[in-house]
């Protein structure tokens, strides 16, 4: 086997360290997204509103987060992805305190918007930095390693939210997150000399610097397929899963912490994928893996709906994580290749659509939940998600055939 070139050997170790640091930042950021899911029934009681109305704390966060991704992608491309996300992580410490100190539901919504604005830079710019520094043939595995932080954050957010809601109150979760962001942000900033990036000095300025890169990416038909799929994926998976802790409390009488922990088993299936990503992609191929993921998520929704006891929800939560990452890992990798010259913008656009999709799912879900019940919401997603996956698999096969000509 040939020796590693000296230049490659010098950058290999720093890149590995940076990926784990970025995973740590992603953990803190995604914890904030899911932390109020188990507290929705308690927020409804505290502020004398319905669960659907309480879900606005999820909706406004997702909308603001998704829209700000359009801003941070071009900013990262211009001023440096790592520097931008490091400063944003430190700012998240302040915004988390604002949430914890909110005196009313209206102020809570405002504080959640501020929290979303500060947190929107972290995950997409981390992925874009990986896309800039990791060769494509290693990117699927590297993104899987980075995804560990995202998975732990999403699932720990629900668990942390449930624990604090059961004990000292939901506000305690945000005091905890404020400290976590401060620690992580300080570490990231202190390691910025390892980032090995130089900001761009050219390009458009002002609003054109935000709009033109997005327009350029969306001119590519395949990019439009990816972002539409991610948008609907967000609605049909995370928009629905936001209500799972409430569903478990209502259907099986579980406590907020138990419901949050059960929903958090999403991480088990996700880690099965992460630690076997290289083998799974090689063995199954990307498109068959996407199809299998769609089938698994559909079966899990059926299980939530019709299983007689809460024990089945444990299995459903874990397998949902596996099925979801079969799909999403492929979408992540494809997003890094939509527009290589504008990778920060392309990945931010994809991440934005995921969060906006979640906002759409939670908003429309609130209407369904308040008028028909959570069962109907699960039923709609049970049908809609497999249809989405079949369409994407068809488009992906078509795109591959066109590339091979």
Is residue 103 assigned to a domain? yes
- The structural domain count of the chain equals 1
Is residue 250 assigned to a domain? yes
Is residue 199 assigned to a domain? no
Provide the CB-side half-sphere exposure for 333 (13 A, CA): 23
Q: How far apart are CA 356 and CA 347, in angstroms?
A: 14
Name residue, tokens 């400290």: 179
* Spatial contact of 21 and 187, defined as CB atoms under 8 Å apart: yes
* Spatial contact of 290 and 389, defined as CB atoms under 8 Å apart: yes
Is residue 14 assigned to a domain? yes
Of the candidates 97, 150, 74, 88, the residue with the CA atom closest to the CA atom of residue 117: 88
Tokens read off for 4: 């590693």
Is residue 317 assigned to a domain? yes
Count CB atoms within 10 A of the CB of residue 215: 11
DSSP string, 310-353: THHHHHHHHHHHHHHHHHHHHHHHHHTTS-GGGHHHHHHHHHHH
**Torsion over CA of 236, 239, 245 and 249, rounded to 10 degrees?**
-80
Q: Please name the residues in contact with 64: beta carbons below 8 A apart, sequence gap of 6 or more.
A: 112, 113, 116, 117, 120
Burial class (CB in 10 A: 0-12, 13-18, 19+), 397: exposed
Is residue 179 assigned to a domain? yes
Q: How far apart are CA 35 and CA 88, in angstroms?
A: 19
Q: pLDDT per position in the chain (405 positions), as tens?
A: 444 444 443 444 456 677 788 888 888 888 888 788 888 888 888 888 887 788 888 888 878 877 787 777 677 777 778 888 888 999 999 999 999 888 888 999 999 999 998 888 888 788 777 777 777 667 667 777 787 787 778 777 877 888 888 888 888 889 999 998 998 888 888 877 666 655 554 555 555 666 777 777 777 787 888 888 888 988 888 778 878 888 888 888 888 778 878 887 887 887 788 778 778 877 887 788 888 988 999 999 999 888 888 888 888 888 988 888 888 878 877 776 666 667 667 777 777 787 778 778 877 887 888 788 888 988 899 899 999 999 988 887 776 645 444
CATH assignment at residue 325: 1.20.1250.20
Q: How is residue 38 annotated by DSSP?
A: G
* Spatial contact of 143 and 329, defined as CB atoms under 8 Å apart: yes
Is residue 338 assigned to a domain? yes
Q: Which domain holds residue 397?
A: 9-194+205-404
Is residue 76 assigned to a domain? yes
């Amino acid at each position: 086997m040939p020796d590693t070139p000296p230049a490659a050997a010098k950058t290999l170790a720093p890149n590995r360290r940076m990926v784990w640091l970025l995973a740590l930042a992603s953990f803190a950021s995604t914890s904030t997204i899911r932390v109020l899911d188990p507290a929705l029934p308690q927020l409804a009681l505290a502020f004398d509103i319905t669960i659907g109305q309480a879900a606005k704390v999820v909706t406004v966060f997702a909308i603001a987060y998704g829209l700000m991704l359009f801003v941070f992608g071009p900013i990262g491309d211009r001023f440096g992805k790592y520097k931008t996300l490091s400063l944003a992580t430190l700012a998240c410490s302040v915004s988390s305190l604002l949430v914890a100190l909110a005196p009313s539901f209206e102020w809570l919504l405002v504080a959640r918007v501020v929290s979303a604005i500060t947190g929107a830079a972290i995950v997409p710019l981390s992925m874009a930095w990986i896309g800039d520094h990791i060769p494509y043939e290693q990117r699927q595995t590297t993104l899987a390693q980075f995804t560990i932080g995202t998975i732990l954050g999403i699932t720990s957010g629900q668990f942390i939210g449930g624990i604090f809601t059961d004990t000292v109150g939901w506000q305690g979760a945000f005091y905890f997150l404020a400290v976590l962001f401060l620690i992580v942000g300080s570490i990231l900033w202190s390691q910025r000399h390892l980032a090995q990036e130089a900001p761009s000095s050219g390009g458009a300025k002002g609003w054109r610097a935000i709009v033109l890169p997005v327009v350029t990416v969306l001119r590519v038909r395949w990019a439009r397929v990816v972002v539409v799929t991610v948008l609907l994926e967000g609605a049909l998976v995370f928009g629905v899963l936001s209500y799972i802790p409430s569903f478990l409390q209502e259907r099986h009488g579980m406590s907020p912490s138990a419901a949050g922990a059960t929903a958090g088993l999403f991480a088990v299936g996700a880690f099965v994928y992460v630690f076997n990503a290289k083998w799974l992609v090689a063995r199954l191929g990307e498109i068959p893996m996407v199809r299998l993921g769609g089938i698994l998520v559909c079966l899990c929704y059926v299980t939530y709906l019709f299983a007689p006891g809460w024990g089945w929800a444990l299995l459903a939560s874990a397998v949902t994580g596996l099925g979801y990452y079969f799909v999403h890992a492929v979408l992540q990798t494809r997003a890094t290749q939509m527009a290589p010259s504008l990778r920060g913008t392309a990945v931010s656009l994809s991440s934005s659509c995921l969060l906006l999709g979640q906002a759409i799912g939670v908003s429309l879900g609130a209407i369904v939940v308040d008028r028909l019940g959570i069962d109907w919401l699960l039923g709609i997603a049970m049908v809609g998600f497999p249809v989405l996956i079949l369409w994407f698999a068809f488009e992906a096969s078509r795109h591959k055939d066109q590339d091979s000509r």
